[in-house]
Amino acid sequence: MLDQRLIRENPNVVVTAMQRRGINIDINSLKLNSEKLKEIEALRNELQAKGNLIGKEVGLKIKSGLSPNSDEIISLREEGNSIKQKVVLLEEKERSLFKKIKANLLELPNLPSIDCPDGKDETENVEIRSWGNPLKGKNLKEHWQIAEELKLLDTQRSVRIAKSRFITLFNQGARLERALINFMLDKHISKGYIEVLPPVLVNTESLQGSGQLPKFAEESFKCSEDDLWLTPTAEVPLTSLHRGEIIPSEDLPIRYAAYSPCFRREAGSYGRDTRGLIRLHQFNKVELYWFVHPEKSKDAHDQITSDAEDILKTLELPYRVVEICTGDLGFSAARTFDLEVWLPGANAYREISSSSICEDFQARRSSIRTKEGKKTRLVHTLNASGLAIGRTMAAILENGQQPDGSVRLPNAIEPYFGAKLLKT
C-alpha cells in the first residue's frame, strides 16, 4: 500500500510512477481526502488534549477543597462532556474517511523501482543473462506427451474428480514430484532458510496484506461459508507470519522457505499452455520469502534470485533471467526478475520463478516494522519461487528425454528419487 504522506506531499511522484506502469490515475480526490483526514486527526488530538487538561483541572480543584457540586466544577465538567461529544463525532468521521481512503489505496499497485526498465508490456522485458546449452533438434516431444507415454499422470480421471486443469500423478510421476519438493527444501535449508509449512487456507486480511486482494479476487478460490480462501501462493501466509509485529533489527534478515500447494482460477488463460503441467488450477511450489532492513533489500534481491537460480543449475536445466519492465510488473512488486527455463519440446522458454522486491508495499499493508533505537520503520519484503514443482518436472522431462522413450534424471535428484531414469 502506498504512503498517504507521499500522496499528500508529492502527488506528482505517484502519478508519474503510475504512468510508467501504463496507468493513468486522478489522484486529486485521494489527496484531498488524505489532507482532510490529517486535519480531522489534528483537531481530534487537540480536543482530546484540552479535555485531558480539563479533567486534571477538575481533579486539582476538588483536591484543593472546592466542592464537586460548585458552579465552577459543574461548568468545567459540562465543557469536558461537550468536548467528548465532539471527539466522538470526529472519530466517526475519521473512521469513515479512513475506510474510504484505505479502499482506494488497496486498489493502487506498488510504485516501480527507479531501476525497473520502462516498457509497455512483456515484449519489452529485458534479458539479463542465460545459463546452460539449450537442447534443440527435430522430433523432440513436449512434456505432456512424454508424461502420457510413461503414464506419469492422468487428466481425464482428474476431470471426473474435480474439473479440467487438474491432474493426478501416478507411480513415477508422484514419486518425482515428492522428490523435487524434498530436494528443493533441503537445498534452501542448507543455505540457512527456515523451513515453514503454512496453512493452505488463509483469511481476507492475509490476502490483502500480500496484495492479492482486492485486485485478484476473481483469480482466487473462496470458501463460501467462511472468511477463508485457498492460498494462491505461500507468499500470502508467509507475509502474514509477522503481520502487526515489530521485528527487532538484530533479527533481520528473516529468510523462510515453504512448500505449499497453490490454487488459482487462471481466468482468461484458456488455450495457453493448458495441456500438461504448465498452467493448472492446483500446483505445488516451494516459495522463498525474506523480511529485510530497507537499506539491504537491493542486495537481498540479488541473493534470493541467485538462490532460485541455483536450483536450476543443480538440476542441469538451461534457463535465462529476464527483468520485467514497468508495463508487465506484478501488482505488489517494485522490481522483478523472472527465471525462464528452456523447454526443448516446446522450443521456448517458460517462466518457472518470479523473484520480486516489494520494498515496503506489503509491510505497510500488513503493518510489519522494525525498531532502530526508539524509532520504528517498515521493513522490506522479497519473494521468489524456488521453484514451481510442476514446471520443474516439465523441464526435466523435456530436457532429459532419450531416443528410447526414457528420461534421464538430473544427478542431484537420483538420491531423492532412487533411480537414474524414468522408463516404462
Q: Known catalytic residues?
A: 264, 279, 351, 354, 391
Question: How far is the CA of 397 from the CAs of 143, 223, 408, 421, in angstroms?
Answer: 6, 35, 8, 10
Cα separation of 3 and 273, whole Å?
A: 38
* Identity of the residue numbered 131: W
Cα separation of 201 and 203, whole Å?
A: 7
Provide the CA 417 distance to its chain's centre, in angstroms: 31
Name which of 342, 335, 349, 350 is nearest 384 in CA terms.
335
Cis peptide before 153 (omega within 30 of 0): no
Nearest 5°: the CA angle 420, 407, 312 is 80
Q: Which helix (H) or strand (E) holds 88?
A: helix 71-106
Residue tagged 521485528 (cell numbers): 247
| Contact yes or no for 356/316 (Cβ under 8 A) | no
Question: How far is the CA of 235 from the CAs of 66, 355, 364, 366, 370, in angstroms?
Answer: 63, 11, 16, 13, 20
Q: List % helix, strand, coil for the chain (3-state, nearest 5).
A: 45, 20, 35
Give me the phi and psi of 186, to 5 degrees please: -60, -40
124 burial class (0-12, 13-18, 19+ CB within 10 angstroms)?
Answer: middle
Residue tagged 532492513 (cell numbers): 293
Give the total residue count for the chain. Answer: 424
Cα separation of 130 and 339, whole Å?
A: 9
| Contact yes or no for 239/209 (Cβ under 8 A) | yes
Cα separation of 31 and 56, whole Å?
A: 38
